[in-house]
Amino acid sequence: MLRRTAKCFCCNLVAEIEKKITEAFEVFDRESNKTVDVREIGCIIRSLGCFPNEAEVQELLGQIEVDELEGFVHLKNFLPVMTKVLLDKRFWPIPEDVILHAFEALDENKCGYITKEDLVKHLTENGEPFTEEEMEDMLAVALDPETNTLNYRDYRIKLVVDESKTFPFNI
């Protein structure tokens, strides 16, 4: 319905969003045939600036037609769903202070750091558990090898991506 109005800001915006989604999609399109492996969808959604959790990714996938046999998703099915996600500004980035509070919630003694054991326990047994690989990768960067603890304030600063200011219209 929006598209009927020629040259309005909204149309340009939608066109732009679609272009960006297509670009991101094509980066994962190994065979250059407008399909990607369904397992990469989460990655694509996140690289477009969204912060869905696993449950939300699955929910989105539920809305997209997936080729059951081969396990791939076609751009034409992904595009409208993803465009709506961006237009609705869903899965907005997690603000810095919320992440800080999340770490603090795991830091029982409120001392500013979490031990490796606690971290592993929380993140591999709780929430939407990390795989072994994910845990290892995180520890490799996050852990201070001398004390075997994670100073979450420092870590968070290292990783913060300041895109929330312009998300998702950072086109």
Name the site residues for other proteins (rule: CB under 8 A). 12, 16, 19-20, 23-24, 26-28, 30-33, 42-47, 50-54, 93-94, 98-99, 101-103, 105-106, 122-123, 126-130, 134, 137-138, 140-141, 159, 161, 169-171
* Nearest distance from C-beta of residue 11 to other proteins, angstroms: 12
Distance CA 151, CA 7 (A): 50
Q: HSE-up of 105 (CA within 13 Å, CB side)? A: 8
* Nearest distance from C-beta of residue 84 to other proteins, angstroms: 19
- CA 4 vs. chain centroid, Å, equals 33
Distance CA 131, CA 117 (A): 15
CB-nearer residue toward other proteins: 77 or 104? 104
CB-nearer residue toward other proteins: 30 or 76? 30
Instruction: Return the bridge partners of 66, or none.
Output: 73
* Nearest distance from C-beta of residue 82 to other proteins, angstroms: 14
CB-nearer residue toward other proteins: 68 or 128? 128
Kindly tell me the number of DSSP H helices and DSSP E strands found in the chain: 8, 5
